[in-house]
Amino acid sequence: AQKVTQAQTEISVVEKEDVTLDCVYETRDTTYYLFWYKQPPSGELVFLIRRNSFDEQNEISGRYSWNFQKSTSSFNFTITASQVVDSAVYFCALSEMGYGGATNKLIFGTGTLLAVQP
Amino acid sequence: EPEVTQTPSHQVTQMGQEVILRCVPISNHLYFYWYRQILGQKVEFLVSFYNNEISEKSEIFDDQFSVERPDGSNFTLKIRSTKLEDSAMYFCAGSRGPMNTEAFFGQGTRLTVV
């Protein structure tokens, strides 16, 4: 069964605090991809990162960093020195290889609403 | 930067009416998708489309739904007879490849069925 769990429904921080958004996934596939998307109040989905199951290296992009741990099936996202503009809903998603040909559907978690207060 | 464009941004329709949601994907994309998001809930996969046919669909995508790409550019989602529970944000997405590229999403169409 494929599933993505984001246990934190809402997080509120004060600007400049660091914040970590948790993501735990379930899959039977050995080949899969993990994603994070940002959904600001305007509603669009903004791609942040893609990670394949064979690459467990942590990644840093500016104030964003991602920690992928296959042993715990987690793909956590940390924002360092948060800013008001980071306020959004953040979705973690999983894409499996599938059978009978590749498919690329994304299975989303329920999202974490991050509110950064000035 | 190229982007996925969806029209209209908001559509209000009466229950039982047909609606067509339109999407213009990025030109070099080959795989196309529709997702929906009921207000305040997670984003759910509806259908994927490749090589002019549906490659996968979810349980949500029943006989009331159809997709087509008639002219090689526009990608449409049709709901034949809308129900109140079809009210949601509908996102179109596209990608160059099935697994090794990210999907780019449009800004969404908010469908309200009254």
Per-residue pLDDT of chain A (118 residues; tens, 9 = 90+): 789 999 999 999 999 999 999 999 999 888 888 999 999 998 889 989 988 888 888 888 899 999 999 999 999 999 999 999 999 999 999 988 765 555 678 899 999 999 999 9
pLDDT tens by residue, B96-106: 877 556 788 99
The position carrying tokens 């893609």 is: A50
Q: Which residues of A touch B45 (CB under 8 A)?
A: 105-107
- Residue contact A106–B45, C-beta within 8 A: yes
Question: What is the average per-residue pLDDT within B65-72?
Answer: 90
Residues making up chain B, counted from first to last? 114
Please, which residues 54-93 of chain A have a Cβ atom closer than 8 Å to chain B? 91, 93
Query: Residue A89, SS3?
Result: strand
Residues making up chain A, counted from first to last? 118
Phi-psi region of B16 (alpha: psi -120 to 50; beta: other; left: phi over 0): left
Tell me if chain A has a CB within 8 Å of the CB of B106. Answer: yes
CB A24 within 8 A of CB A109: no
CB A104 within 8 A of CB A3: no
Per-residue burial over A26-64, b if 16 or more Cβ lie within 10 Å, else e, is: ebeeeebbbbbbbbeeeebbeebbbbebeeeeeeeeeeb
The position carrying tokens 């008639």 is: B70
CB A110 within 8 A of CB A99: no
Among chain B residues, the shortest Cα distance to A4 is held by B42
Residue B11's alpha-carbon distances to A88, A89, A105, in angstroms, are 24, 23, 25
From B48, B89, B100, residue closest to A105, measured CB to CB: B48
